[in-house]
Amino acid sequence: MLSSAAASLAALLFSHAALAFDPFVVRDIRIDGVQRTEPGTVFGYLPVKVGEMLTEDKAAAAVRALFATGFFKDVRLEVEGDVLVVYLEERPAIASLVITGTKEFDQETIKRALRDQGLAESRIFDRSVLERAEQELKRQYLSRGKYATRVTSTVTPLERNRVGITLAVEEGESAKIDSIRFVGNKAFTEKQLLDQMRLTTPNWLSWYTKTDQYSREKLSGDLEALRSFYLNRGYLEFSVDSTQVSISPDKEDVTLTVALTEGGVYRVRDVQVRGQLLGRDQEFTSLVSLAPGQTFSGQKLADSQKAITDRLGTLGYAFANVNAVPRIDRDKREVDFEFLVDPGRRVYVRRINVSGNARTRDEVVRREMRQFEDAWYDAEKIRLSRERIGRLGYFTNVRVESRPVADAPDQVDLDVIVDEQPTGAITFGVGVSSAESLILSASLNQQNFLGTGKAFGLSVNTSKINRSFALSYADPYYTPEGISRAFDLYSRNFNAAELDLGDYKWRSSGVGIRYGIPYTEFDRISMGLTYETNTLKLGGNAPQRFKDYVADFGEDSSALLAVLGWQRDSRDSAFAPTKGRFQTATLEVTLPALDMRYARALYNHQWYLPLSKDYTLALNGDIAFGRAFGGKEYPLFKNFYAGGIGSVRGFAQSSLGPRDAIDDVPLGGQTRVVGSAEFIFPLPGTGNDRSFRSFVFLDAGNVFPTGGIDLGDLRYSVGIGLNWASPVGPMKLSFGFPLNKKDEDRSQRIQFQLGTGF
């Protein structure tokens, strides 16, 4: 920039020397020296027009104006009679910009940052802009902890007054945090304070989390976490005095030193709520969780302010302001708080905007909204809307932000911002085995088909032993009121003789339809009919249980199944719930018109209890009963099974319960009881990344043949696991350890599920 200014000054002085002339009327203006710049552009910037009187002051102003465009590196004015001649030397244009050696950032990210600095292809080349761009590039690397980064620029002249620019980057190694020290801490140990910070020294996971790489933003967040830690324990006057960042001479190690003043522990002496309370003095006072006699807590103070603000939000006051004013008695270490309430103006929602849904249609999001346009702002309805959108399972994150409308103080717009996630799974399989020869399988499941919110599923499997086909389709908004409709079509064939499990073949086919009716914001009932046929072909060496089945139902049997269900979903998210419940109850009963006569009842209850911002306790209970009536036997293929992921981990999939004495295969049972408790926490080093969720679990369960439940026969297991929304689809991995394995049980320590997302 200084070089440009010096050139302008020199040119201006030269122009004054050259233009020692008497004022005259300009009859014509001639432009010389331009190649890319249009003459019209020059005339547009030139403050002198044909027919005007040209003075030395106007000539100097003309030179300054043309230099100020940045297009030219030399400007001269000459006079030929009454003609003003403008001689220009253009700056070169940037023909190409090549960046090499970058691994930390992708090319587009870097070019976008350089473009913001004024350096990009087709722009005018300016050496000062290039220097600024180099510094910006180094600054970007410094934010990633790379202090040894070097940037070398090369400018190559090209034909037609153009240049090619090459930026060669040597990234170097990222500087690691060698140590983190605290000065001034007396009440808490260094280890306790380090536990509050995301920045760490190198550990076994830091290669992935990068928490051992210093950045100013990360440190600011950690200092806020330290401040909250002290404030929540009564240290009202805690302060961070300074932070010192020391870099080793080789720029590979960083030492952080945090100097702090703890102050003393304060107790709350008195709390008052004042201001414009809208006649709700008692109600607002009851929302304050900070009580006299308690040790001061910054979290309780913030919660109290939020509770009053949220309550005002439900009344339409979107921009209410609640300030807590402290009065500190340092001698007694006591503090009084006065909550000053200013509700502001009551507002209504003008417009709701949806963004981030590249795949999902707007209407799929909007139909879950309970806050409507042209209605009074209601914070509770907005919260409910956000949770309903989150329960769809299509998005990893849902945010709703209020934005004031310009020149309309009683209106706001709502911005609903969603982050989409893969909602489908597609798998293909080809295999060869000695038992089944060629095996082909494929499945397609999409919970948000073509972005419409409808669910579609198709699976095909073919081999000598198993052949199956299943098709399902569900429309959650078959009617605008939210009544859902679903169809199912399936056919399954099993040839047991190929596995030496008995001389029989089984085929089961069915078609069904279901309707769901919502009757509260969280509850829905469903009802449907399924027609199913079963064919059992027996050979001479068929197991006795199948002979008994044929004796009771015949080789061909059918059933018309009536299904009644109930579902309640109050979770805050279907992707990674932290609070709320999910309950389902289903009753299946065969109608008397056809062969089989049985009923099945199933109930599942999932309960998520938030223990803190990062920790959740998840409880799950599952109980199911099946019984025959009308003098018929209970169908074998309707038995329940337990074991594996989804029931009792650590035991082989569907292996628990009684087994056939001859072929040693699991028989299942008419009763199933399964329960589990999971303590869910972030994977160490991943912060609040909800795509990673680790857990420890305790499982219990079993299946029982016909009679009641024998709690003494339950199987137990403990273990650890990981849920990961991986780039190829959702993955669940568990390491289970059976606690009371019997001789007949089959254990399986490592179990996982993986789908391919799209």
Hey, CA dihedral for 663, 665, 671, 675, is it positive or negative? positive
- The pLDDT tens digits of the residues spanning 248-307 come to 888 888 899 999 999 999 999 999 999 999 999 999 999 999 999 999 999 999 999 999
Residue 79: inside a domain, yes or no?
A: yes
What pLDDT sits at residue 10?
A: 44
The answer, yes or no, to whether residue 347 has pLDDT greater than 70, is yes
Are 15 and 38 part of one and the same domain? Answer: yes
What CA dihedral angle connects 383, 386, 390 and 394, to 10 degrees? 180
Residue 527: inside a domain, yes or no?
A: no
- Beta strand pairing status for 556-569 and 523-538? antiparallel
Q: When comparing pLDDT for 646 and 369, which is higher?
A: 369
Residue 573: inside a domain, yes or no?
A: no
Q: Is residue 136 helix, strand or coil?
A: helix
- The pLDDT tens digits of the residues spanning 433-478 come to 434 444 555 667 788 888 899 988 888 877 666 778 889 999 999 9
The answer, yes or no, to whether residue 33 has pLDDT greater than 80, is no
- The pLDDT tens digits of the residues spanning 716-749 come to 999 999 887 665 556 778 899 999 988 888 888 8
91: nearest Cα among 103, 109, 108, 75:
75
Q: When comparing pLDDT for 665 and 369, which is higher?
A: 369
The average pLDDT across 490-501 equals 72
Residue 444: inside a domain, yes or no?
A: no
Task: Give the whole-number percent of the chain exceeding pLDDT 70.
Answer: 90
Instruction: Give 74: exposed, middle or buried? Use CB within 10 Å, 0-12, 13-18, 19+.
Output: middle
**What gap in Å lies between CA 225 and CA 223, rounded to an integer?**
5
Q: When comparing pLDDT for 755 and 31, which is higher?
A: 31
The packing angle between helices 56-68 and 2-18, to 10°, is 150
What pLDDT sits at residue 753?
A: 65
Residues linked to residue 430 through DSSP beta bridges, in sequence order: 440
Are 300 and 232 part of one and the same domain? Answer: no
The answer, yes or no, to whether residue 362 has pLDDT greater than 70, is yes
What pLDDT sits at residue 584?
A: 96
Spatial neighbors of 96 by CB under 8 A, at least 6 apart, are 121, 164, 165
Instruction: Give 240: exposed, middle or buried? Use CB within 10 Å, 0-12, 13-18, 19+.
Output: middle
What pLDDT sits at residue 758?
A: 35
Residue 142: inside a domain, yes or no?
A: yes
Are 684 and 720 part of one and the same domain? Answer: yes
Are 105 and 15 part of one and the same domain? Answer: no
The answer, yes or no, to whether residue 19 has pLDDT greater than 80, is no
Residue 530: inside a domain, yes or no?
A: no
The answer, yes or no, to whether residue 634 has pLDDT greater than 70, is yes
CB 532 within 8 A of CB 561: yes
Are 753 and 659 part of one and the same domain? Answer: yes
Are 651 and 758 part of one and the same domain? Answer: yes
Are 161 and 47 part of one and the same domain? Answer: no
**Residue 712 domain boundaries:** 639-758
**What gap in Å lies between CA 297 and CA 308, rounded to an integer?**
17
Residue 412: inside a domain, yes or no?
A: yes
604: nearest Cα among 626, 621, 587, 618:
621
Confidence of residue 4 (pLDDT cuts 50, 70, 90): very low
How many domains is the chain partitioned into structurally?
Answer: 6
Q: 405, 420, 435 — which closes off a domain?
A: 420
Are 247 and 362 part of one and the same domain? Answer: no
Confidence of residue 332 (pLDDT cuts 50, 70, 90): very high
Mean per-residue pLDDT over the chain, rounded: 84
The average pLDDT across 398-408 equals 91
Residue with tokens 């709690």: 711
CB 75 within 8 A of CB 60: no
Confidence of residue 312 (pLDDT cuts 50, 70, 90): very high
What pLDDT sits at residue 465?
A: 65
- The pLDDT tens digits of the residues spanning 201-222 come to 888 777 767 788 887 788 889 9
The average pLDDT across 618-638 equals 88
- The pLDDT tens digits of the residues spanning 90-140 come to 788 888 888 888 887 877 778 888 888 888 887 888 888 888 888 888 887
Task: Give the whole-number percent of the chain exceeding pLDDT 90.
Answer: 40
The average pLDDT across 21-40 equals 79
In 544-636, which ranges are continuous DSSP H helix?
A: 544-553
Are 375 and 311 part of one and the same domain? Answer: no
Hey, CA dihedral for 534, 539, 543, 545, is it positive or negative? positive
The answer, yes or no, to whether residue 431 has pLDDT greater than 60, is no
Are 54 and 103 part of one and the same domain? Answer: no
The average pLDDT across 397-417 equals 92
Are 733 and 649 part of one and the same domain? Answer: yes
Phi (first) and psi of residue 57, to 5 degrees: -65, -40
Q: When comparing pLDDT for 349 and 469, which is higher?
A: 349
Are 213 and 228 part of one and the same domain? Answer: yes
Q: When comparing pLDDT for 503 and 755, which is higher?
A: 503
Residue 554: inside a domain, yes or no?
A: no
The average pLDDT across 401-426 equals 87
Confidence of residue 9 (pLDDT cuts 50, 70, 90): very low
Q: 420, 437, 469 — which closes off a domain?
A: 420
The average pLDDT across 635-652 equals 87
What CATH number has the domain bearing residue 151? 3.10.20.310
**What gap in Å lies between CA 574 and CA 725, rounded to an integer?**
13
The average pLDDT across 39-45 equals 80
The answer, yes or no, to whether residue 755 has pLDDT greater than 60, is no
The average pLDDT across 489-495 equals 86
Confidence of residue 14 (pLDDT cuts 50, 70, 90): very low
**Roughly how many angstroms between the first and final C-alpha of the chain, as a whole number?**
50
Asked whether the whole model's pTM tops 0.75, one would answer no
**What gap in Å lies between CA 535 and CA 635, rounded to an integer?**
12
110: nearest Cα among 86, 126, 134:
134
What pLDDT sits at residue 247?
A: 86
The answer, yes or no, to whether residue 5 has pLDDT greater than 50, is no
Q: 261, 290, 309 — which closes off a domain?
A: 261
The answer, yes or no, to whether residue 340 has pLDDT greater than 90, is yes
What pLDDT sits at residue 16?
A: 41
